[in-house]
């Protein structure tokens, strides 16, 4: 397991708990040491480099920050591909560009390594519970080889298409979330300005067409100005940037995505970059706090 961040750490825990012989690698020693302290005995080995982690492994899983990080831990001088053997499997859970996913797939093919790009949805809660949904790109035989691994931490796996298709599907996912959270933030401030009981508003509207995962999990915490729940604004901006870049290449207009991306830039400017995506409501004045 290469990458022990918000999503990678619980995935590693599920793998170790499922009985897999687990080697871990993380670039920051502090995060690695915390994982070891929180999960005593679950790691069989701690690696010094991604290549060291991949040595002798049947499966290498990556879950890092962005394209550059992914390129470094897979394709770099000390990357996993320097040590992975023929017939082994690379599973990448990073949310990255379709371009880097396709590049890695080509390199993997030349090395006779199976490869799956498998970005996730389900948030930190899903990672902790082992109920993530994966959207996968790659060959059918690679997906089949990955399924016994996925069983440890997923509730749904969908094979979208060829290499890079998983990443493109994740972009569609983030486009949807951006629009939903923006609407939810406006609805919250509208209800507050109307002096409505937001709990009763939720009770009334959450059973109808307005219902969403975001409403069920973030309406109450948004009303409380509580934003310490997983996926950060900084990462959402990264993901929306990937979607807009891909859209430009496809000739697809994404005006709402571009607008919400700018809204998130406003949240970053007021110090909310590490808060979760529902912090989008912070850019709208809270009528309850008006003098």
Average pLDDT over residues 128-154: 97
Q: Which of 80, 115, 117 has its CA nearest to residue 95?
A: 117
Report which of residues 290 and 84 the model is more confident about: 84
- At residue 281, what are phi and psi to the nearest 5 degrees? -65, -20
Residue 180: its pLDDT value, please? 97
| 252 confidence band (pLDDT: 50, 70, 90) | very high
Residue 148: its pLDDT value, please? 96
Query: 50-80, pLDDT tens digit by residue?
Result: 999 999 999 999 999 999 999 999 999 999 9
Q: Between β-strands 120-121 and 132-137, what pairing exists: parallel, antiparallel or unpaired?
A: antiparallel
pLDDT at residue 288 is higher than 80? no
% the chain with pLDDT above 70: 99
Cross-strand pairs, 232: 276
Q: Which of 83, 147, 138 has its CA nearest to residue 114?
A: 138
Query: 17-41, pLDDT tens digit by residue?
Result: 999 999 999 999 999 999 999 999 9
Please provide the average confidence, as pLDDT, over all residues in the chain.
96
- At residue 289, what are phi and psi to the nearest 5 degrees? -105, 5
Category of 164 on φ-ψ map: left (φ > 0), alpha (ψ -120 to 50) or beta: left
Average pLDDT over residues 256-269: 98
- At residue 246, what are phi and psi to the nearest 5 degrees? -65, -40
Query: 233-243, pLDDT tens digit by residue?
Result: 999 999 999 99
Residue whose pair of structure tokens reads 């560009």 in the numeric block: 97
pLDDT at residue 226 is higher than 70? yes
Residue 144 has which token pair? 């089949």
% the chain with pLDDT above 90: 95
Q: Could you say which DSSP state residue 39 is in?
A: S
How many CB atoms are closer than 10 A to CB 95? 28
Report whether 276 contacts 229 (CB < 8 A): yes
Hey, what domains does the chain have and what are their CATH numbers? 8-163 (3.40.50.720), 168-289 (1.10.1040.10)
Q: Which of 6, 114, 10, 13 has its CA nearest to residue 64?
A: 6
pLDDT at residue 287 is higher than 90? no
| 182 confidence band (pLDDT: 50, 70, 90) | very high
Catalytic center residues: 170
Query: 74-104, pLDDT tens digit by residue?
Result: 999 999 999 999 999 999 999 999 999 999 9
d(CA 277, CA 235): 9
Average pLDDT over residues 198-211: 97
Residue 290: its pLDDT value, please? 63
pLDDT at residue 289 is higher than 80? no
Residue 122 has which token pair? 């389900």
């Amino acid at each position: 397991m290469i990458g022990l961040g918000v999503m990678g750490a619980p995935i590693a825990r599920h793998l170790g708990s499922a009985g897999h012989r687990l080697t871990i690698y993380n670039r920051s020693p502090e995060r690695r040491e915390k994982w070891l302290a929180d999960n005593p005995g679950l790691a069989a080995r701690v690696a010094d480099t991604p290549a060291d982690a991949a040595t002798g492994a049947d499966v290498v899983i990556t879950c890092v920050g962005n394209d550059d990080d992914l390129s470094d831990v897979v394709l770099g001088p000390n990357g996993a591909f320097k040590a992975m053997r023929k017939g082994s499997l690379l599973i990448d859970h990073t949310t990255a560009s379709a371009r880097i996913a396709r590049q890695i797939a080509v390199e993997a093919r030349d090395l006779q390594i199976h490869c799956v790009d498998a970005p996730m949805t389900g948030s930190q809660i899903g990672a902790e519970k082992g109920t993530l949904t994966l959207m996968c790109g790659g060959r059918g035989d690679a997906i089949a080889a990955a399924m016994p691994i996925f069983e440890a931490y997923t509730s749904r796996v969908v094979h979208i298409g060829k290499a890079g298709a998983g990443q493109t599907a994740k972009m569609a996912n983030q486009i949807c979330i951006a629009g939903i959270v923006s609407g939810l933030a406006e609805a919250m401030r509208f209800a507050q300005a109307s002096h409505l009981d937001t709990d009763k508003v939720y009770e009334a509207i959450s059973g109808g067409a307005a219902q969403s995962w975001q409403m069920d999990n973030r309406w109450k915490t948004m009303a409380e100005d509580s934003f310490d729940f997983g996926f950060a604004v900084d990462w959402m901006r990264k993901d929306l940037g990937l979607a807009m870049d891909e859209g430009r290449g496809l000739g697809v207009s994404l005006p709402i995505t571009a607008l919400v991306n700018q809204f998130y830039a406003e949240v970053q400017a007021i110090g909310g970059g590490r808060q979760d995506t529902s912090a989008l409501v912070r850019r709208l004045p809270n009528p309850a706090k008006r003098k």
